[in-house]
Amino acid sequence: MAKIKTSFFCQNCGAQSPKWLGKCPSCGQWNTYVEEIIQKEESGKGSWKPSGSGTKKTNTPKKIKEVNYEEQARWVTGDPELDRVLGGGIVPGSLVLIGGEPGIGKSTLMLQIALTLTGKTILYVSGEESEAQIKMRADRMAVSNPDCYVLSETNTQQIFQQVELLKPDFLVIDSIQTLNSQYVESAAGSVSQVRECTAELMKFAKETGTPVFLIGHVTKEGSIAGPKVLEHMVDTVLQFEGDRHLTYRILRTSKNRFGSTHELGIYEMRVDGLRSVANPSEILLTQREEVLNGVAIGAMLEGNRPLLIEIQSLVSPATYGTPQRTSTGHDAKRLNMLLAVLEKRGGMRLGNQDVFLNVAGGMRVDDPGLDLAVCASLISSYEDTPVSEQICFAGEVGLGGEVRAVSRIENRISEAEKLGFKKIMVSKYAVKGLDLSKFKIKVIQVSKLEEMYQLIF
């Protein structure tokens, strides 16, 4: 009987060591090494192999100048938000990983895409739900696809046998952490299993040209569970975000070999599935019956999409000693910097004030073009004076209190005009050489925070 071989793997980055280590030399994390059984199989075993039907592509070395490049025709899914985030649609042969918290709607999104891709043979493989459970969820949606097949299986060898018989055009795996390969002697979800199963699926996708979508779990820190090499192996990494207690979900991309990583998709969770939100600015702006202090509207960019978003602030005297600085949806360090600028350059005494900042709608933003809106919101709450509902802001604030120019100011102005705003405040350096007569909205130009304060308050 062959001796069982074991090795230690870092559960954070996937690094391997013949002995246990307290600190991983690769990623620097402590107490992440776990012993796993490894078993070396004969060459050719453990990975997907097509039948002798000519579907396998034979690769031979070529000179780079002799490579014939033709732009691959993307599949339009019918979901404008997903198509935008992917860069224009699904690329044949791509391996896409989508992660998110439990209950956020990952499986719903993938099942909805599988049901709307008509004219294609779809195989939806689930290791977490039975076929009856998948059917119950599909019945709640208002779409159907006669060519959508479901399979409840976790063993990759069994899955590939069904793939050989069905020959699907599109494959969904829910989820990668539940799969296991019989050629790796470790539990499902371990570093070895996740890496091996992903490698088999990647080989299948590249050799057959079949797009494969993998659903992945996340850790308590919000990152994709499993080794970091998982994100390196796939072509695209999508993050499905949002508060489970709110109706809106945000789809972002952190890696995309076939498009931009700055695009954003917004969905509304409904009883019958996810609905694409065509104009997210309208849902991100709160409908109020009265003007409130501490509220300002900022014009931001997410990829190529301009958005108007509501910034809410509350500044009140500190009661329990050290003042609190709490930020939801906005970078806390950026908030501290803006507070320091307001205190140093604007003369505001904020050292003994509690400051709470919230980005309405559950959004998480990092556009510096919102600095001016954040400052206006903070001043409004501190002075207890509301900002007019007819004005929005677009500008970056520097350490000297200057208002700096931001990118693509025309798009921001056009979005504000489209939503009915009468005025927009921008840096005077952002509109140099720009023909402002083509806009009906009034463009207010400032260069310092003092000018903004005098004009608004």
CB 148 within 8 A of CB 120: no
| Residue 268 CB-density burial (10 A; 0-12 exposed, 13-18 middle, 19+ buried) | middle
Token representation of residue 167: 């020959």
CA atoms in the 13 A half-sphere facing the CB of 321: 1
DSSP 78-100: S-HHHHHHHTSSBPTT-EEEEEE
pLDDT for the residue 7: 83
Question: Is the pLDDT at 447 greater than 60, yes or no?
Answer: yes
Q: Rounded to whole angstroms, how far apart are CA atoms 152 and 128?
A: 8
pLDDT (mean) for 190-214: 91
Give 375's pLDDT tier (boundaries 50, 70, 90): very high
Give 152's pLDDT tier (boundaries 50, 70, 90): very high
CATH class of 75-278: alpha beta
The neighbouring-strand residues paired with 326 are 356
Q: Rounded to whole angstroms, how far apart are CA atoms 126 and 215?
A: 10
CB 406 within 8 A of CB 427: yes
| Residue 229 CB-density burial (10 A; 0-12 exposed, 13-18 middle, 19+ buried) | middle
Q: For the chain, give the percent of residues with pLDDT over 90.
A: 48
Q: Rounded to whole angstroms, how far apart are CA atoms 206 and 93?
A: 5
288 or 22, which is more confident? 22
Among 307-311, 320-324, 392-396, 438-442, whose mean pLDDT is lowest? 320-324
Q: Rounded to whole angstroms, how far apart are CA atoms 377 and 297?
A: 8
pLDDT for the residue 1: 43
Question: Is the pLDDT at 364 greater than 80, yes or no?
Answer: yes
Q: Tell me: the pLDDT tens digits for 343-352?
A: 998 888 898 9
Binding residues for ATP are 100-107
Give 226's pLDDT tier (boundaries 50, 70, 90): low
pLDDT (mean) for 381-408: 94
Q: Rounded to whole angstroms, how far apart are CA atoms 451 and 402?
A: 10
Q: What is the bridge-based pairing of β-strands 391-394 and 353-359?
A: unpaired
pLDDT for the residue 38: 67
pLDDT for the residue 41: 47
pLDDT for the residue 50: 53
DSSP 212-250: EEEEE-B-TTSSBSS-THHHHHSSEEEEEE--TTSSEEE
Residue with tokens 């499986």: 107
Binding residues are 100-107
Give 45's pLDDT tier (boundaries 50, 70, 90): very low
Phi and psi at 374, nearest 5°, equal -65, -45
CB 213 within 8 A of CB 96: yes
189 or 71, which is more confident? 189
Question: Is the pLDDT at 217 greater than 50, yes or no?
Answer: yes
Q: Which CATH architecture has domain 283-455?
A: 2-Layer Sandwich (3.30)
pLDDT for the residue 33: 86
Question: Is the pLDDT at 13 greater than 80, yes or no?
Answer: no
pLDDT for the residue 197: 92
Q: For the chain, give the percent of residues with pLDDT over 70.
A: 90
pLDDT for the residue 53: 43
Rg (CA), the chain: 26
Residue with tokens 């806009």: 439
pLDDT for the residue 11: 78
pLDDT for the residue 49: 59
pLDDT for the residue 433: 84
pLDDT for the residue 225: 65
Among 64-68, 172-176, 444-448, whose mean pLDDT is lowest? 64-68
Give 396's pLDDT tier (boundaries 50, 70, 90): very high
CB 268 within 8 A of CB 247: yes
Question: Is the pLDDT at 228 greater than 90, yes or no?
Answer: no
pLDDT for the residue 429: 92
Across the chain, mean pLDDT equals: 86
Question: Is the pLDDT at 413 greater than 50, yes or no?
Answer: yes
